């Protein structure tokens, strides 16, 4: 026996290794059990969803393939839908006069085949508005797994780093722990045991044992959770829950397409990209992460995801990844109406430095960006100030609403193309479907990739054909909401921050000098010429995008004069406005007319009148002209479209002006909401307690007047 350790030392170390292995097996078994629990809960929820589908299918479908099933007897006996057949036993079916046991078995078999098809196509939706027993069971299972994940990862890291080496060392040490053969062991075996003991001693410490034992206990305790805590955690991080669910049961979440429509060879190169998103302050959905990988892999692309899928976040994530790889200079070109929005989104979702290049000081802002790096955010009109050396390189240039540069002869197109010449990577973005605007698509692709442009030029008339889509796939990527967001609550809310024009600033300052709160609340809408209204221009863009996607729009305002101005601006696209002076009977007539109207149609309403008591499911875009001082008013207005019977996701846009009373109202309501959430449960009365009182309004006005003076 070598002097460095005794037989009892070897036994103690091997016993410690055995105990640690047992704890690790406990953790692994919990991992398997929780994943199985999630799968089971998801299958039950999908099964419930499929039963709802079967409940709409008449029993006559059993005989679609002329199987000779006597469906009339089934219907006469009270079996009217396929759901009735699935729930019934063979015995109850064979009890029907004229149906034999073999016939009952054939009926159940046919119904089961249809039920399986329905189940396989059923996608899981999770929403805090639908806390039924099945969804609660699934959320609780996901919550348990989330709590266990850190400990499971710790066990996985141990096994990855030490598992095989510890097993091998234990095998070499085991003879030294009491075998008689050890007395006659060769010097080679004794040396191996000595090395094994030293190796195990450095790994299998008492601290490691305590850490793994604690992890095993924590994983076991994760089985006991409160459904209330689980739903609260889901509300805080729904994307994390959906990503976890998607990793466990991918076929029940999203579009079921692992590569989101890309050709196989291209998909393989995209999948090989490993992202470093250190510094990204949000969780990406799987389809968003795939979009970022696509942008990184292909370098010069046109991302055409539909509205509401988070193209901005994907662009930010791509910049974060490239920054982590050593890049320093990025630029974003966007319409003036979303300039502030871009700056805020970058600051909110990443630790990237933002430089706004617009207005007074834009030239010095460019010089500062060149010297220090970061993300320069500018407008199409301001790109002319980018006077940069020929050798200067931009790692990635993002061009939002890229169809703005469809006209090769326009000055803004010329200016943006000059910037493109300095860019190593290009990310063009548009929510507008370009398949039916092949001229615009071709002009953009020509800038991005001349080789692809040459390939697609002869087949532009086949823009919806598979061969065209495959040819354009290396540069053009578009996902639809119904393909990737089937599992989420269908409500997407956005704050649209606008910059005041000089005319708006003048009118706004006049309202403040008169201490007129209501006039200040009408910021941007109280200019005489709405071509000078940043909110009006952004609203027109949103209405145009909605029309492109076959959507109808609801526009709400508290103010009668704003309602009138919006209606006049929209002209023929707008229905008769709904205000307090419109009778209930006429309101319903207007809504009926709106239901029959074509996509792109707009219904404008005073929020107090059109925001309650009406069902307007034919609209799927809601625009709020100004923030309300009582959140329940906004929520009721949104609920006109976001309610049972709505077949599309609902997009809500809040039009807000930067550095105005809009910001103060929004921030104060958010602060009050946060305080309420910290000290109270949600209740029907919650929104009423959040209303801004007279003192709060006076405080807002005083603070805003002082800020404008400064």
The tens digit of pLDDT for each residue in 107-160 reads 888 888 877 776 666 777 777 657 889 989 999 999 988 888 888 888 888 888
Angle formed by the axes of helices 206-221 and 133-158, nearest 10°: 170
Contact criterion met (CB below 8 Å) for 124 and 45 = yes
Q: In this structure, are strands 374-379 and 423-429 parallel, antiparallel, or unpaired?
A: unpaired
Q: Give the pLDDT score at 65.
A: 64
For residue 376, the cross-strand partners are: 331, 355
Region 497-522: mean pLDDT is 91
Q: Give the pLDDT score at 40.
A: 92
Highest mean pLDDT among 572-586, 600-614, 627-641, 686-700: 572-586
- Number of Cβ within 10 Å of residue 12's Cβ equals 14
Give the span between the Cα atoms of 205 and 308, in whole angstroms. 51
> From start to end of 598-688, where are the E strands?
602-606, 621-624, 650-657
Q: What are phi and psi for residue 228, nearest 5 degrees?
A: -65, -45
Give the 3-state DSSP-derived string for 549-584, with helices as H, strands as E and coil as C: CCCCEEEEECCHHHHHHHHHHHHHHECCCECCCCCH
Q: pLDDT for 399-441, tens place per residue?
A: 999 988 988 889 999 999 999 999 999 999 987 766 657 778 8
Give the 3-state DSSP-derived string for 536-548, with helices as H, strands as E and coil as C: HHHHHHHHHHHHH
Q: 56 is written with which tokens?
A: 């709409």
Confidence band, pLDDT 50/70/90 cuts, at residue 683: very low
Name which of 48-52, 288-292, 401-405, 556-560 the model is least confident about: 48-52
Give the span between the Cα atoms of 375 and 317, in whole angstroms. 13
Element at 333 (helix H, strand E):
strand 329-334
Share of the chain above pLDDT 70, in %: 89
Name which of 154-158, 177-181, 336-340, 609-613 the model is least confident about: 609-613
Confidence band, pLDDT 50/70/90 cuts, at residue 256: low
Name which of 503-507, 518-522, 551-555, 647-651 the model is least confident about: 647-651
Task: Write down the residue that tokens 């409160």 correspond to.
Answer: 226
Q: Give the pLDDT score at 685.
A: 39
Stronger pLDDT, 368 or 183, i.e. the higher one: 368
For residue 394, the cross-strand partners are: 423
Q: Give the pLDDT score at 396.
A: 98
Q: Give the pLDDT score at 682.
A: 40
Contacts of range 248-251, beta carbons closer than 8 Å, 24 or more positions apart: 248/35, 248/38, 248/39, 248/42, 249/38, 249/39, 249/42, 249/43, 249/124, 251/120
Q: 395 is written with which tokens?
A: 């790692």
Q: Give the pLDDT score at 540.
A: 96
Give the span between the Cα atoms of 642 and 654, in whole angstroms. 15
Give the span between the Cα atoms of 580 and 609, in whole angstroms. 5
Contact criterion met (CB below 8 Å) for 239 and 259 = no
What's the chain's length in residues?
A: 710
Region 4-33: mean pLDDT is 85
Highest mean pLDDT among 21-30, 78-87, 522-531, 584-593: 522-531
The gap from C-alpha 418 to its chain's centroid, in whole angstroms, comes to 33
What letter does residue 611 receive in the DSSP assignment? S
Q: In this structure, are strands 476-477 and 423-429 parallel, antiparallel, or unpaired?
A: unpaired
Q: Give the pLDDT score at 67.
A: 66
Q: Give the pLDDT score at 521.
A: 92
5 pLDDT higher than 70: yes
Q: 486 is written with which tokens?
A: 């089937």
Give the span between the Cα atoms of 244 and 147, in whole angstroms. 12
Q: What are phi and psi for residue 10, nearest 5 degrees?
A: -65, -40
State in Å, rounded, how far the first CA of the chain is from the last one: 84
Task: Write down the residue that tokens 């630029």 correspond to.
Answer: 331
What letter does residue 224 receive in the DSSP assignment? -
Q: Give the pLDDT score at 369.
A: 96
Contact criterion met (CB below 8 Å) for 182 and 1 = yes
Region 675-695: mean pLDDT is 53
Q: Give the pLDDT score at 652.
A: 92
Region 535-551: mean pLDDT is 92
Q: Give the pLDDT score at 190.
A: 83
Give the span between the Cα atoms of 272 and 553, in whole angstroms. 41
Torsion angle, CA of 340/343/345/350, rounded to 10 degrees? -170
- Of the CA atoms within 13 Å of residue 597, those in its CB half-sphere come to 26
Stronger pLDDT, 342 or 260, i.e. the higher one: 342
Region 302-311: mean pLDDT is 84
Q: 596 is written with which tokens?
A: 């029959």
Element at 672 (helix H, strand E):
helix 661-679
Q: Give the pLDDT score at 703.
A: 81
Name which of 386, 352, 381, 347 is nearest 370 in CA terms. 386
303 pLDDT higher than 90: yes
Instruction: From residue 345, give the alpha-carbon distance in Å to each of 247, 294, 314, 354.
Output: 28, 21, 11, 10
Share of the chain above pLDDT 90, in %: 35
> From start to end of 325-422, where are the E strands?
329-334, 354-357, 374-379, 394-399
Q: What are phi and psi for residue 657, nearest 5 degrees?
A: -105, 130
Angle at 440 between CA 434 and CA 445, to 5 degrees: 90
DSSP, collapsed to helix, strand or coil, labels residue 645 as coil
Q: 309 is written with which tokens?
A: 């899928």
Name which of 76-80, 167-171, 260-264, 441-445 the model is least confident about: 260-264
Confidence band, pLDDT 50/70/90 cuts, at residue 695: confident
Name which of 9-18, 269-278, 534-543 the model is least confident about: 9-18
Highest mean pLDDT among 154-168, 371-385, 657-671: 371-385
577 pLDDT higher than 80: yes
Q: Could you tell me the domains of the chain?
A: 7-32+128-232 (no CATH), 258-484 (3.40.50.10810), 491-709 (3.40.50.300)
Give the span between the Cα atoms of 656 and 497, in whole angstroms. 5
Give the span between the Cα atoms of 224 and 142, in whole angstroms. 12
The pTM of this model reads 0.62
Confidence band, pLDDT 50/70/90 cuts, at residue 461: low
Cα torsion angle, 470, 471, 475, 479, sign = negative
What letter does residue 83 receive in the DSSP assignment? H
Instruction: From residue 66, give the alpha-carbon distance in Å to each of 70, 93, 199, 498.
Output: 10, 19, 73, 62
What does pLDDT average to over the chain?
A: 84
Stronger pLDDT, 102 or 464, i.e. the higher one: 102
């Amino acid at each position: 026996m070598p002097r460095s350790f005794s037989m009892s030392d070897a036994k103690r170390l091997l016993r410690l290794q055995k105990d640690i292995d047992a704890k690790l097996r406990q953790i692994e078994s919990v991992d398997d059990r929780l994943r199985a629990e999630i799968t089971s809960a998801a299958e039950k929820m999908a099964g419930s969803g499929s039963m709802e589908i079967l409940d709409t299918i008449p029993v006559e479908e059993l005989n679609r393939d002329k199987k000779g099933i006597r469906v009339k007897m089934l219907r006469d006996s009270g079996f009217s839908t396929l759901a009735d057949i699935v729930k019934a036993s063979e015995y109850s079916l064979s009890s029907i006069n004229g149906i034999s046991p073999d016939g009952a078995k054939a009926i159940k078999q046919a119904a089961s085949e249809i039920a399986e098809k329905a189940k396989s196509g059923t996608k899981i939706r999770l929403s805090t508005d639908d806390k039924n027993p099945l969804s609660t069971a699934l959320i609780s299972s996901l919550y348990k797994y989330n709590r266990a994940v850190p400990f499971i990862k710790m066990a996985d890291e141990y096994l990855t780093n030490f598992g095989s080496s510890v097993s091998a060392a234990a095998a070499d040490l085991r003879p030294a722990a009491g075998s008689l053969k050890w007395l006659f062991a060769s010097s080679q075996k004794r040396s191996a045991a000595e090395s094994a003991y030293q190796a195990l001693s450095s790994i299998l410490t008492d601290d490691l044992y305590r850490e793994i034992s604690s992890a095993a206990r924590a994983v076991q305790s994760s089985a006991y959770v409160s459904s209330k805590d689980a739903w609260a955690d889901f509300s805080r991080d729904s994307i994390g829950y959906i990503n976890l669910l998607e990793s466990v049961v991918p076929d029940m979440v999203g579009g079921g397409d692992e590569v989101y429509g890309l050709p196989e060879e291209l998909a393989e190169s995209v999948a090989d990209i490993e992202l470093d998103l250190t510094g990204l302050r949000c969780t990406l959905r799987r389809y968003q992460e795939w979009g970022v990988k696509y942008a990184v892999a292909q370098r010069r692309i046109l991302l055409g995801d539909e509205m509401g899928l988070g193209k901005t976040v994907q662009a930010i994530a791509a910049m974060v990844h490239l920054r982590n790889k050593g890049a320093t200079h990025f630029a974003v070109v966007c319409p003036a109406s979303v300039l502030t929005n871009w700056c805020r989104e970058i600051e909110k979702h990443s630790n990237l430095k933002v430089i706004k290049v617009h207005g007074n000081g834009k030239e010095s802002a460019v010089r500062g960006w060149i010297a220090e790096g970061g993300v320069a955010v500018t407008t199409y009109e301001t790109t002319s100030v980018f006077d940069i050396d020929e050798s200067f390189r931009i790692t990635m240039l993002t061009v939002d609403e890229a169809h703005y540069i469809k006209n090769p002869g326009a000055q803004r197109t010329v200016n943006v193309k000059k910037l493109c010449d300095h860019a190593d990577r290009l990310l063009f973005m548009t929510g507008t479907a370009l398949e039916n605007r092949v001229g615009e698509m071709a002009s953009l692709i020509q800038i991005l990739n001349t080789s692809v442009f040459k390939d697609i030029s002869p087949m532009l008339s086949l823009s919806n054909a598979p061969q065209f889509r495959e040819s354009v796939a290396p540069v053009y990527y578009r996902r639809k909401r119904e393909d990737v967001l089937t599992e989420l609550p269908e409500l997407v809310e956005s704050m649209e921050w606008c910059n005041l024009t000089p005319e708006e600033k003048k009118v706004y300052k006049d309202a403040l000098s008169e201490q007129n709160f209501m006039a200040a609340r009408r910021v941007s809408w109280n200019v005489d010429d709405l071509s000078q209204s940043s909110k009006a221009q952004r609203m027109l863009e949103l209405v145009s995008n909605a029309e492109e996607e076959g959507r109808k729009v609801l526009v709400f305002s508290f103010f009668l004069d704003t309602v009138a101005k919006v209606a006049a601006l929209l002209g023929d696209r707008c229905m008769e406005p709904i205000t307090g002076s419109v009778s209930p009977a006429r309101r319903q007539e207007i809504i009926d007319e709106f239901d029959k109207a074509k996509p792109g149609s707009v219904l404008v309403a005073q929020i107090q009148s059109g925001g309650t008591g009406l069902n307007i499911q034919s609209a799927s875009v809601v625009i709020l002209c100004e923030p309300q001082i009582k959140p329940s008013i906004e929520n009721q207005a949104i609920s006109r479209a976001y309610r049972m019977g709505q077949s599309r996701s609902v997009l809500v846009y809040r039009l807000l002006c930067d550095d105005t009373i809009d910001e103060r109202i929004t921030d104060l309501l958010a602060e009050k909401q946060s305080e309420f959430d910290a000290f109270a449960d949600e209740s029907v009365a919650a929104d009423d307690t959040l209303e801004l009182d007279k003192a709060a309004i006076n405080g807002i006005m005083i603070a805003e007047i002082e800020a404008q003076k400064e």
